[in-house]
Chains A and B, each alone.
Chain A
Amino acid sequence: MAELFSKKNKEVFLAPLGLNNPVTVQVLGICSALAVTSKLEPAIVMGLSVTIITAFSNLVISLIRKSVPNRIRIIVQLVVVAALVTIVSEILKAYAYDVSVQLSVYVGLIITNCILMGRLEAFAMQNGPWESFLDGVGNGLGYAKILVIVAFFRELLGSGTLLGFNILNYEWIKNLGYLNNGLMLMPPMALIICACIIWYQRAHHKELQEN
């Protein structure tokens, strides 16, 4: 048990949540971060879907890594990812239909999410199943974390709600001169909020800054 949560494994799991975040540090998976973050709920579902898919595709690829013919390894990785994405998308359609309509094509586009292929190629092909699984969960959650932060600000400032619950849409707040900012719901604002997070992170961690 102690071995399962060794220092190295903790590092594998925690690095993507902090200093090696796939979105803010490696700048991967940006396009879906822009598309699904105008509301909090789809962002959470998208984050969880990506976490599940990275974790299990990492696990599967790591289990079969020694048998995969080197020349078709990218194809094998893609097939595994595509199969998992299809399964997740079918499950969403069955149990969370409204969210699957909101996410529309972006669930399918998880297949092309750079984080997935990056982790498979860079980590799962060289490491054991358990480490790979942790790495997948870590990277998925690192991605989900940024999505949730961005969606939090966009939904709060853009629609005045959080998860659909009314937060700022009251008469007395309007009377104070506050209006919901429709611009927050446009994709460019996701990029700007993302950039603010990167700015904050780099300002606080000198080791991330280039000379």
Chain B
Amino acid sequence: MNTNSNTYTIIYASVMVVIVAFLLAFVSSALKSKQDKNIELDTKKQILSALNVRDIKDADAEYNKIIKADMLLNQDGSLSENAQGFTTAFEKEAKENNRLHVFVADVNGEKKYVVPVYGAGLWGAIWGYVALNADKNTIYGTYFSHASETPGLGAEIATDHFQSEFKDKKVMNNDKVALSVVKNGHVTDAAHEVDGISGGTITSNGVDAMLKACLESYNSFLTKNEEE
């Protein structure tokens, strides 16, 4: 057979592509549930990281112990139980279904709230979780991560050093989100501002915009005084 003829080449390429496509589709669907489980576990780990619970072995058990409820925000700022099970796509939930999640946690007997935040850095997505004290204003801890920021510059937002800067900062000022990330060394309002990363300006600005946009959507919850 002439393996150099045009017909042969085209048929060969087509058959090969179809076989490979089936193979990959099969592998992908066979491993899907296992992968989703991993992503879910990873999300739980990230939520716990925001509560300064890090380096844990069994994230599932720890999560069930610490996180008391996965709540959704109502229009008037009150919370109601999320009945649809754990999700990892917080951005999609917020934008498409208008479902804003708040996790209620209990750390050593103190009530904490964790809200997911998401935005864009320089090269790709950035996301994180902000844990607040029971006053819904003071930050207890944060966790940030990124898809593809520059190592050593923007990627520094994923370090403990950057995340710990947020501790004890206040989110709100006059019923508006005042928490910001400013140029390194230009903090004027120590209660609300955090030093950005030098050399990672666009990523720092991304974190700033992400915090403002996402926390602002929780405004009704954050400004509501709870009578319990």
Which residues of chain A have a CB within 8 Å of any CB of chain B?
A: 67-72, 75-76, 79-80, 83, 86-87, 90-91, 93-95, 97, 101, 104-105, 186
Contact = CB atoms under 8 A, between A and B. Distances in A.
Contacts of B8: 69
Interface string B74-117: 00000000000000000000000000000000000000000000
Interface of B: 3-4, 8-9, 12-13, 16-17, 20, 23-24, 27-28, 31, 34-35, 38-39, 41-42, 148, 152
Q: At the interface, is chain A mostly helix, strand, loop or mixed?
A: helix
Nearest to A95: B34
B41 A97 contact: yes
A2 B23 CA distance: 35
B38 A70 contact: no
Contacts of A71: 4, 9
Given A68-B3, A72-B9, A79-B17, A97 B27 contact: no
Contact of A94 (B24, B34, B152): B34
Contacts of B152: 186
A95 B42 CA distance: 13
Contact of B13 (A75, A87, A93): A75
24 contacts: A67-B12, A69-B9, A70-B3, A70-B4, A71-B9, A72-B9, A72-B12, A72-B13, A75-B13, A76-B12, A76-B16, A79-B17, A79-B20, A80-B20, A87-B27, A90-B28, A90-B31, A91-B27, A93-B31, A93-B35, A94-B31, A94-B34, A97-B39, A97-B41
A69 B3 contact: yes
A151 to B, nearest CB: 16
Contacts of A69: 3-4, 8-9, 12-13
Nearest to B11: A69
Contacts of A105: 148
A191 B225 CA distance: 58
Contacts of A91: 27, 31
Nearest to A100: B38
Given A71-B9, A87-B23, A91-B31, 7 more contacts: A76-B13, A79-B17, A86-B27, A87-B24, A90-B28, A94-B34, A97-B41
A79 B18 CA distance: 11
Nearest to B31: A94
- Choose among B3, B4, B152 the residue with the greatest number of A CB atoms under 10 Å from its CB: B3
A17 to B, nearest CB: 30
Nearest to A186: B152
A66 to B, nearest CB: 8
Contacts of B28: 90
B8 to A, nearest CB: 6
Contact of A90 (B3, B17, B20, B35): B35
B225 to A, nearest CB: 40
A111 B24 CA distance: 15
Nearest to B147: A104
Contacts of A95: 34
Q: Please provide the 8 A-B residue pairs with the shortest distance between their CB atoms, ordered closest to farther.
A: A97-B38, A94-B34, A94-B31, A69-B9, A83-B20, A93-B35, A94-B35, A69-B3
Contacts of B34: 94-95
Nearest to A80: B20
Given A71-B9, A94-B38, A83 B23 contact: yes
Contacts of A76: 12-13, 16
Contacts of B35: 90, 93-94, 97
